[in-house]
Amino acid sequence: MNSNIEIEAKVLLSEEQYELLVNYLGLDKYRKVKQTNYYIDSKERILKQNDIALRIREKDDFVLTLKTPLSEGLLEKNQTISWREYEHFEKSNSFPSGDIKLFLEMLGFNPDQLEILATLSTERIEMNIEDGLLSLDKNIYGENIDYEIEVEASSMDRAEEICQRILNEAGIRDFKFNTLSKQSRAMNALKD
């Protein structure tokens, strides 16, 4: 299992703003990468109540990721799992063995109560910038589609500064930073 700290500034965009940024940054020449996130919690949302996010991301492989908040950014723990482990979990709620399961148990959670509750697919274009990474995302979850820019950097101030500069240079001045994660948006869109 590897761990890292994720610090990113995010802004939700309209479809027109998204297209404007794709053109302004010349990202139409970049390859779009598709990834699907499967968001995990109990029916009672016990992880959310404790500010913990858990997902499996399917991209080139399957990666189980647990995120917990820090004073700045998120502590992210990642564990690669096989497609068989993913499929077994999806069909029978048999949580994959490994460090994340042990970590959840150490925190007092029962992994057998967890299941996949929501799915979100993203078409992502990534570009290295200055001391960070810029991602432009088109997200599809349920009947919803949204667009987002994310800038990862060494600090939140730096990420917001880079993001604001890029948006302003592209002519996008009416925006606010988004604090609602993809997981929160996908889970909030669930029909009970």
Give one DSSP letter per residue of 107-168, joined into a string. Answer: TT--GGG-EEEEEEEEEEEEEEETTEEEEEEEEEETTEEEEEEEEE-SSHHHHHHHHHHHHH
Domains and CATH numbers, the chain: 2-188 (2.40.320.10)
- pLDDT digits 0-9 by tens, 37-80: 999 999 999 999 999 999 999 999 999 999 998 888 888 999 99
Task: Indicate whether this model's pTM tops 0.75.
Answer: yes
Confidence (pLDDT) at 192: 52
Residue-wise pLDDT tens digits, 73-108: 888 999 999 999 999 999 998 999 999 999 999 999
